[in-house]
Amino acid sequence: MSELKLPRLLAAAKEFNIGQDTLIEFLAKKGFNKDELKPTAKLTEDHYRALQAEFQGDKVAKNKADQV
């Protein structure tokens, strides 16, 4: 079993420094069911890995900005 702690959708949007709607649209384009993607929905490992692959750069930029 994975040791990855999976956040809720809204927390992931904050983590990756993207809007909630952007996150939902991205996951819907990747083939995930848009009806299940509510702000309080817990992300699956597949959801989270897709977000990491696409938005990891935004997360790094946010962390650098926070350190300034």
**Tokens for 13?**
């949007």
Q: Cβ(6)–Cβ(48) under 8 Å?
A: yes
Q: Is residue 3 part of a domain?
A: no
Per the model's pLDDT, the better-predicted residue between 10 and 5 turns out to be 10
Q: Is 42 helix (H, G, I), strand (E, B) or coil?
A: strand
How big is the chain, counted in residues? 68
Residue 37 counted as domain residue:
yes
Q: Is the residue at 4 inside a domain?
A: no
Query: Is 24 part of any domain?
Result: yes
pLDDT, residue 3, reads 65
Question: What's the mean pLDDT in 4-31?
Answer: 92
As a whole number of angstroms, the distance between CA 41 and CA 62 comes to 24
Q: What is the mean pLDDT of the chain?
A: 87
Is residue 1's pLDDT more than 60? no
Domains identified in the chain, total number:
1
50: in domain? yes
Closest listed residue to residue 45, CA positions, set 6, 1, 10: 6
Q: To the nearest whole percent, how much of the chain has pLDDT over 70?
A: 90
Range of the domain at 38: 9-67
